[in-house]
């Protein structure tokens, strides 16, 4: 009598399982009520109950239990399990292993935690696969490089020390207890009622042992998902049926029959799938015209531009199918980003999908709020402060609008300051100071260099979070409840972790919280389900969409084992990593065999080109051989293009602002004149509209900041020491100006050495010159007549003016990589030195009245080996004359006629910055 059955690909597993149970036991309701059905997951148990409820002749349900529950506690009717040692909680195990790692290696607590997680994974694999931990120390033989011995020495943590720690606590590893619970059932359970183990692939030896024991029961049956006999004895490990054939070989059963007798299913896609999954593609089974038509009617493959486009295409397919009356749709994808995008797209039509993939606690509203609190308390930064204050859960003492008004003012203040002291309210406006001081008080800022236990840190965090946000709002939603439950379970084990300072707790908390998943409660009962590959194994729908079919996503990349290479794993008795690809292939086959299947992939993800999944490529190859052209989603793509396309596209015209003459400024600095020449629209936006680009809070220093620091250091030196030439004093002045930023690694290792190189070069250059006196940062002013009774004020601040033999030498320090070109200087696009020469000629510098001009020089302070270079401008008298005439023409052009301020008149190569290009919508009209 056959006791091993299969439900083939293409049949709804749970519904067919329910039909088979009813056929066998419906005549005996009492026996049906005693029957025990074991499924791999709790989701599968719920699905089977729904399948029974949908059958009108089902008055009594069998007992249904998840294999995962039996692993935790083997409680089945009529069996009393022996008492096993309790499993050590994962939080306690993680803390103890972290302490062992810190004692063995000099590393950070965050790194120790990561290593502890990897050790826990290795322990789980060894116990689950019936491996022997003691064999770890004998794995490195002559065939392996000796550096592997270093790894095995580290693994003494789990071979030598960990077993005794478990013995001291009277506990065992959780994976070992799960294995032992199933072994107890397999060895001691002898029920007198029917038992059906269904849907498992028995990747764990303990599960296979339980299945073998069930076969020996008087009325025990095994139901396999999608088993098919193959010509070869055992396919390669990447084959979708590899694990099932390995399971059947272990059972020793050769008589495998269909669970129920069904009408002959369509074989077309089965043939195609069999050819696609074969180790070597062969054409032994050609497809008939009817089979080809069946494939064309029920299968589509849609290639999308990117992940966002793929989500929109899938959402449109779902919307279309629901409108056509389809009652159930399943989307299968391991890609969590695609899942989130798809959920967002479905909300266009108020479709709420039921999802199985949880969100890591750190990515939830409450999780980010808690992490932001720890980040600010341990290392306050402007960005972290603003992120915390703008978080929707902050701030309970004011209404939201009043709180955000304070935050906006603080935001503007922080954008104008470099490295403010965030722990003081001195830099805050007077009207916001009381609010900010209250916030700092609520944060309970203390000395975070002192170490405390994890439990104390968690108590402090919860206390502060409840001060900043009302507890009912903080813990009321699903993510808040999950966080509260997790902290409650973690705190009793806090003493097993090493003592932590504030920064260590900041690094540790996200790693701990990232292990917890928050499941969305919305979408329960929805006709649309978005499932991961594991959750979809027993699911079935008339339309199944297999999404994210790219290498690295489906199948997922094989995670490299940090401890053992592949051969070592096999020698230890651990499963071949390639087996995971075979399991993914089996999941793909289950979805592919649905009545209607749609396959999708994106050609780019996060801006990077993707590689199609190996199954996608094999199907494409076979379809081209069979000359089958599938639906490629052309209609869906057309809808997607039209969905968000504007009814009419009107590119913006080139802006031609032309303010009244009396609104145009008549006071110009050399910077204004340069911008007016290079980018009149930018000058208009900055000087007339008074618009300024907002700096990014805590923005990284750039080359302009380096120039400012060097200028400030030189100016400080000349103000303090005049014409003295002293390298040590110059270096000392540089240290004072660089001091607020020296903690920045880039400043410390690149900018400061550049300044010292420049200082040596400057001192040597100054010593070469015999100067009468020197002026630095000297301001000059000129009332410039540009027409009849019309004048404008021209100002400039010269970096340095040297006087030698009664003649002036005007210097301009340049710290950039390049100097102004000769063409730009002549054209007036780089007019600073020429304008300063004009001011000198017209006695615009009060200390230098009646001084003639000797030289115009650029001092290129480039640092490095050379330190700097001096570049003299030629034909300075002609340059001054042309500058005077050019300046007159420029002012007449803009101040005596209604001339518009053009955007980018010289082309983008002459723009010094693009601060106002977006305001001018340059890309729209200049493409």
Q: Which helix (H) or strand (E) holds 149?
A: helix 147-154
Mean pLDDT score, 687-692: 93
User: Could you tell me the two tokens for 324?
Assistant: 């056509």
**CB of 554 closer than 8 Å to CB of 584:** yes
Mean pLDDT score, 286-314: 92
Q: Strands 528-531 and 354-355, how do they pair?
A: parallel
Instruction: Give pLDDT, residue 343.
Output: 93
Instruction: Give pLDDT, residue 617.
Output: 93
Alpha helix ranges (H) inside 54-106 = 67-72, 90-104
Distance, CA of 131 to CA of 151 (rounded, Å): 18
Distance, CA of 213 to CA of 222 (rounded, Å): 11
Instruction: For 912-925, write each residue's pLDDT tens digit.
Output: 888 899 999 988 88
Distance, CA of 174 to CA of 120 (rounded, Å): 10
Instruction: Using DSSP, state whether 225 is helix, strand or coil.
Output: strand
Instruction: For 536-557, write each residue's pLDDT tens digit.
Output: 888 889 999 999 999 999 998 8
Torsion angle defined by CA atoms of residues 243, 246, 248 and 250, in that order, rounded to the nearest 10 degrees: -140
Residue 266 has pLDDT above 60, yes or no: no
Lowest mean pLDDT among 114-128, 379-393, 564-578: 564-578
Instruction: For 132-187, write each residue's pLDDT tens digit.
Output: 888 887 777 666 667 777 888 888 899 889 999 999 999 999 999 999 999 999 99
Residue 568 has pLDDT above 90, yes or no: no
| Spatial CB neighbours of 105, under 8 Å, sequence gap ≥ 6 | 112, 154
Alpha helix ranges (H) inside 575-625 = 579-592, 614-625
Quick one: which of 306, 352, 314 has its CA closest to 333?
A: 314
Distance, CA of 834 to CA of 857 (rounded, Å): 10
For the chain, the distance separating the N- and C-terminal CA atoms, rounded to the nearest angstrom, is 78
| Spatial CB neighbours of 16, under 8 Å, sequence gap ≥ 6 | 7, 259, 260, 262
Instruction: For 287-297, write each residue's pLDDT tens digit.
Output: 888 888 989 99
Instruction: Give pLDDT, residue 648.
Output: 83
What DSSP string describes 289-356?
Answer: HHHHHHHHHHEEEEEEEEHHHHHHHHHHHHHHHHHTT---EEEE-S-HHHHHHHHHHHGGGT---EE-
Quick one: which of 299, 243, 236, 307 has its CA closest to 273?
A: 299
Considering the chain, what percentage of its residues have pLDDT values greater than 70? 97
More confident residue, 608 or 137: 608
Instruction: Give pLDDT, residue 416.
Output: 76
Mean pLDDT score, 748-774: 89
Instruction: Give pLDDT, residue 391.
Output: 94
Distance, CA of 631 to CA of 298 (rounded, Å): 9
Instruction: Give pLDDT, residue 283.
Output: 62
**CB of 587 closer than 8 Å to CB of 533:** yes
User: Could you tell me the two tokens for 387?
Assistant: 């992120």
Instruction: For 805-843, write each residue's pLDDT tens digit.
Output: 889 999 999 988 789 999 999 999 999 999 999 999 999
Distance, CA of 779 to CA of 789 (rounded, Å): 25
| pLDDT level of residue 781 (50, 70, 90 thresholds) | very high
Q: What is the mean pLDDT of the chain?
A: 89
Instruction: For 474-492, write each residue's pLDDT tens digit.
Output: 999 999 999 999 999 999 9
Residue 70's alpha-carbon distances to 207, 356, 881, 897, in angstroms, are 10, 22, 95, 89
| Spatial CB neighbours of 180, under 8 Å, sequence gap ≥ 6 | 84, 172
| pLDDT level of residue 315 (50, 70, 90 thresholds) | very high
Mean pLDDT score, 321-334: 94
Instruction: Give pLDDT, residue 398.
Output: 76
Q: Does domain 4-84+177-262 have CATH number 3.40.50.300?
A: yes
User: Dihedrals φ, ψ of 790, to 5°?
Assistant: -130, 130
Quick one: which of 128, 216, 140 has its CA closest to 177?
A: 128
Q: What secondary structure letter does DSSP report for 160?
A: I
CATH class given for the domain over 289-358+522-644:
alpha beta
Gyration radius of the chain's alpha carbons: 38
**CB of 367 closer than 8 Å to CB of 360:** yes
**Per-domain residue ranges of the chain:** 4-84+177-262, 90-171, 289-358+522-644, 361-518, 657-689+900-926, 753-894
Instruction: Give pLDDT, residue 528.
Output: 94
Instruction: Give pLDDT, residue 235.
Output: 81
Whether the ω angle into residue 260 lies within 30 degrees of 0, i.e. cis, is no
Q: What secondary structure letter does DSSP report for 842?
A: T
Mean pLDDT score, 649-677: 92
Q: What secondary structure letter does DSSP report for 418?
A: S
User: Dihedrals φ, ψ of 257, to 5°?
Assistant: -120, 160
3-state secondary structure 692-731: CCCCCCCCCCCHHHHHHHHHHHHHHHHHHHCCCCCHHHHH
**CB of 833 closer than 8 Å to CB of 812:** yes
| pLDDT level of residue 58 (50, 70, 90 thresholds) | low
Q: What secondary structure letter does DSSP report for 445?
A: -
Instruction: For 394-415, write each residue's pLDDT tens digit.
Output: 877 778 888 999 999 999 888 8
Quick one: which of 371, 364, 38 has its CA closest to 211?
A: 38
Neighbours of 426 (CB within 10 A): 8
Instruction: For 228-249, write each residue's pLDDT tens digit.
Output: 887 666 788 888 888 988 898 8
| pLDDT level of residue 34 (50, 70, 90 thresholds) | very high
Instruction: Give pLDDT, residue 731.
Output: 94
User: Could you tell me the two tokens for 698?
Assistant: 């805590």
User: Could you tell me the two tokens for 795?
Assistant: 């100002």
| pLDDT level of residue 446 (50, 70, 90 thresholds) | low
**CB of 300 closer than 8 Å to CB of 598:** yes
Residue 699 has pLDDT above 80, yes or no: no
Instruction: Give pLDDT, residue 284.
Output: 57
Whether the ω angle into residue 149 lies within 30 degrees of 0, i.e. cis, is no
Q: Would the CATH topology of 4-84+177-262 be identical to that of 289-358+522-644?
A: yes
Beta bridge partners of 863: 867
Mean pLDDT score, 730-754: 89
Instruction: Give pLDDT, residue 752.
Output: 92
User: Dihedrals φ, ψ of 728, to 5°?
Assistant: -60, -40
Using the Cα atoms of residue 453, residue 458, residue 459 and residue 463 in order, give the sign of their dihedral.
positive
Mean pLDDT score, 17-27: 89
Distance of CA 749 to the CA centre of its chain: 30
Instruction: Give pLDDT, residue 666.
Output: 93
Q: Strands 807-814 and 790-804, how do they pair?
A: antiparallel
Instruction: Give pLDDT, residue 397.
Output: 73
Instruction: For 78-124, write each residue's pLDDT tens digit.
Output: 888 888 899 999 999 999 999 999 998 888 888 999 899 999 999 99
Quick one: which of 310, 321, 330, 336 has its CA closest to 520?
A: 336
**CB of 775 closer than 8 Å to CB of 801:** yes
| Spatial CB neighbours of 638, under 8 Å, sequence gap ≥ 6 | none
Distance, CA of 17 to CA of 53 (rounded, Å): 13
User: Could you tell me the two tokens for 72?
Assistant: 């935790």
């Amino acid at each position: 009598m056959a006791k091993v059955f299969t439900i083939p690909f293409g049949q709804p597993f749970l519904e067919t399982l329910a039909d088979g149970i009813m056929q066998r036991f419906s005549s005996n309701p009492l026996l049906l009520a005693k029957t025990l059905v074991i499924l791999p997951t709790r989701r599968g148990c719920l699905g089977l109950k729904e399948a029974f409820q949908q059958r009108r002749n089902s008055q009594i349900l069998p007992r249904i239990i998840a294999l995962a529950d039996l692993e935790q506690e083997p409680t089945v009717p009529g069996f009393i399990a022996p008492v096993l040692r309790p499993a050590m909680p994962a939080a306690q195990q993680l803390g103890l292993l972290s302490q062992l790692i810190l004692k063995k290696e000099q590393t950070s607590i965050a790194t120790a935690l990561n290593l502890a997680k990897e050790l826990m994974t290795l322990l789980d694999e060894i116990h689950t696969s019936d491996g022997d931990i003691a064999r770890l120390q004998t794995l490195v033989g002559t065939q392996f490089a000796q550096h592997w011995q270093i790894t095995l020495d580290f693994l003494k943590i789990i071979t030598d020390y960990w077993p005794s720690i478990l013995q001291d606590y009277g506990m065992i590893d959780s994976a070992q207890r799960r294995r032992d619970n199933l072994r107890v059932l397999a060895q001691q359970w002898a029920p007198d009622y029917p038992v059906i183990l269904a849907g498992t692939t028995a990747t764990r030896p303990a599960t296979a042992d339980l299945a073998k024991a069930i076969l020996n029961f008087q009325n025990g049956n095994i139901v396999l998902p999608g088993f098919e006999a193959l010509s070869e004895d055992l396919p390669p490990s990447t084959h979708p049926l590899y694990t099932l054939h390995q399971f059947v070989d272990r059972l020793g059963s050769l008589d495998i029959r269909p669970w129920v007798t069904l009408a002959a299913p369509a074989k077309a896609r089965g043939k195609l799938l069999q050819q696609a999954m074969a180790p070597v593609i062969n054409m032994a089974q050609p497809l008939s015209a009817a089979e080809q038509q069946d494939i064309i009617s029920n299968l589509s493959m849609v290639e999308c531009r990117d992940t966002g486009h793929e989500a929109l295409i899938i959402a449109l397919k779902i919307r279309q199918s629901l409108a056509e009356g389809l009652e159930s749709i399943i989307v299968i994808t391991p890609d969590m980003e695609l899942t989130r995008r798809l959920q967002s797209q479905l909300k266009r039509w108020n479709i709420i999908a039921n999802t199985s993939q949880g969100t890591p606690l750190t990515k939830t509203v409450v999780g980010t709020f808690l992490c932001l609190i720890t980040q600010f308390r341990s290392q306050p930064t402007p960005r972290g402060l603003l992120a915390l204050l703008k978080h929707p859960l902050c701030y309970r003492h004011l209404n939201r609008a009043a709180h955000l008004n304070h935050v906006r003012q603080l935001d503007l203040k922080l954008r104008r300051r470099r490295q403010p002291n965030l722990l003081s309210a001195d830099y805050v406006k007077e009207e916001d100071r009381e609010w900010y001081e209250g916030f700092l008080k609520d944060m309970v800022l203390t000395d975070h260099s002192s170490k405390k236990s994890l439990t104390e840190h968690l108590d402090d965090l919860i206390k502060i979070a409840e001060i900043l946000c009302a507890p009912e709002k903080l813990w009321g939603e699903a993510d808040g409840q999950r966080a509260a439950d997790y902290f409650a379970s973690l705190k009793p084990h806090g003493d097993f972790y090493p003592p932590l300072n504030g920064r260590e707790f900041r690094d540790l908390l996200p790693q701990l919280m990232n292990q917890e998943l928050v499941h969305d409660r919305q979408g329960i009962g929805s006709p649309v389900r978005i499932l991961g590959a594991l959750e979809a194994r027993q699911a079935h729908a008339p339309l199944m969409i297999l999404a994210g079919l790219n290498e690295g996503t489906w199948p997922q990349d094989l995670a490299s084992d940090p401890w053992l290479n592949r051969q070592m794993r096999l020698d230890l008795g651990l499963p071949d990593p390639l087996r995971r690809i075979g399991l993914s292939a089996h999941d793909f086959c289950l979805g592919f065999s649905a009545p209607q299947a749609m396959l999708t992939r994106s050609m780019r993800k996060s801006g990077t080109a993707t590689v199609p999944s190996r199954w996608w490529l094999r199907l494409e190859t076979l379809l081209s051989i069979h000359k089958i052209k599938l639906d490629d989603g052309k209609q869906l793509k057309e809808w997607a293009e039209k969905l968000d396309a504007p009814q009419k596209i009107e590119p913006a015209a080139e802006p031609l602002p032309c303010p009244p003459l009396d609104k145009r400024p008549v006071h110009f600095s050399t910077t204004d004149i340069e911008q007016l020449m290079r980018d009149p629209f930018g000058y208009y936006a900055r000087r007339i509209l008074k618009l300024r680009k907002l700096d990014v809070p805590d923005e990284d220093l750039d080359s302009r900041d380096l120039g400012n620091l060097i200028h400030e250091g030189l100016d400080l030196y000349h103000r303090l020491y005049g014409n003295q030439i002293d390298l040590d004093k110059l270096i000392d002045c540089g240290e004072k100006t660089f001091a607020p930023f020296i903690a920045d690694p880039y400043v410390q290792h690149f900018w400061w050495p550049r300044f010292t190189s420049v200082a040596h070069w400057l001192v040597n250059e100054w010593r070469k010159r015999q100067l009468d006196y020197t002026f630095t940062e000297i301001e000059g002013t000129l009332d410039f007549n540009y027409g009849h009774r019309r004048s404008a004020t021209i100002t400039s601040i010269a970096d340095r003016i040297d006087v030698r033999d009664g003649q002036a030498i005007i210097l301009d320090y340049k710290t950039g990589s390049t100097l102004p070109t000769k063409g730009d200087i002549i054209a007036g696009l780089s007019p600073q030195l020429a304008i300063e020469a004009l001011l000198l000629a017209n006695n615009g510098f009060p200390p230098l009245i009646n001084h003639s001009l000797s030289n115009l020089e650029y001092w290129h302070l480039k640092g490095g080996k050379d330190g700097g270079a001096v570049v003299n401008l030629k034909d300075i008298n002609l340059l001054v004359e042309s500058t005077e005439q050019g300046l007159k023409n420029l002012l007449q052009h803009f101040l005596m006629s209604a001339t518009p301020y053009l955007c980018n008149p010289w082309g983008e190569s002459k723009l010094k910055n693009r601060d106002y290009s977006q305001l001018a919508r340059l890309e729209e009209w200049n493409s």
